[in-house]
């Protein structure tokens, strides 16, 4: 079982260790961060929570170990929407076991049940097939592809846009309970 808890300064070292290449930093944090990731950058990231448009979580396993990171960003109360960002299962040993899907379900529960949002979106680079498949299993629907969205080194990466609406979330929950 995975529990989401607020991202704390003592979590910084683990996240910095996980983000061990410029390419991984782009996949995780986009243009908001520079490689190498630093505590100063993470402190600024945490300060954005005070604006009320961002929630940042560490994913913790049964043993109390931090195994991942996820945020709910661009929270727009007027339009009842938000965007899931900065999703990471840190250790390769923890990947491919459904932990990312569990983490996603928990953040979606927060978005749809607690915050009463109508729409949650995310972006995933098109070469990240395992993440895209996990998001689809959780119930996200592919909306489109932003071709050559980001330049990394000498190549361009395309981004898949995916979303889920509150009625789709409720339908997924009913199907899981059945």
Q: How many CB atoms lie within 10 A of CB 97?
A: 11
Alpha helices in the chain (DSSP H): 12-18, 22-29, 39-47, 99-109, 129-138, 166-177
Cβ atoms 98, 67 nearer than 8 A: no
Residue 177 has what pLDDT? Answer: 79
3-class SS of residue 52:
coil
Domains defined for the chain, CATH in brackets: 3-177 (3.40.630.30)
Given a cut of 90, whether residue 178 has pLDDT beyond it is: no
Given a cut of 90, whether residue 174 has pLDDT beyond it is: no
- pTM (two decimals): 0.95
99-128 average pLDDT score: 97
68-105 tens-digit pLDDT: 999 999 999 999 999 999 999 999 999 999 999 999 99
3-class SS of residue 95:
coil
27-44 average pLDDT score: 96
Confidence of residue 136 (pLDDT cuts 50, 70, 90): very high
Distance CA(37)–CA(143), nearest Å, equals: 31
137-167 tens-digit pLDDT: 999 999 999 999 999 999 999 999 999 999 9
Given a cut of 80, whether residue 36 has pLDDT beyond it is: yes
Given a cut of 90, whether residue 6 has pLDDT beyond it is: yes
3-class SS of residue 62:
coil
């Amino acid at each position: 079982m995975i529990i989401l808890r607020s991202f704390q300064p003592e979590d910084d070292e683990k996240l910095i260790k996980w983000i061990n290449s410029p390419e991984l930093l782009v996949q995780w944090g986009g243009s908001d961060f520079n490689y190498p990731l630093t505590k100063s950058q993470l402190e600024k990231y945490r300060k954005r929570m005070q604006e009320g448009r961002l929630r940042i979580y560490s994913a913790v396993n049964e043993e109390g170990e931090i195994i991942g990171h996820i945020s709910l960003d661009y929270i727009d109360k007027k339009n009842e929407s938000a965007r899931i960002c900065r999703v990471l299962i840190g250790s390769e040993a923890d990947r491919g076991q459904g932990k990312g899907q569990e983490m996603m379900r928990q953040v979606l529960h927060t978005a749809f049940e607690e915050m009463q949002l109508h729409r949650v979106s995310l972006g995933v680079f098109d070469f990240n097939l395992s993440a895209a498949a996990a998001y689809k299993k959780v119930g996200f629907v592919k909306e489109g592809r932003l071709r050559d969205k980001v330049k990394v080194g000498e190549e361009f990466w395309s981004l898949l846009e995916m979303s889920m609406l509150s009625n789709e979330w409720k339908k997924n929950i009913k199907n899981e309970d059945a």
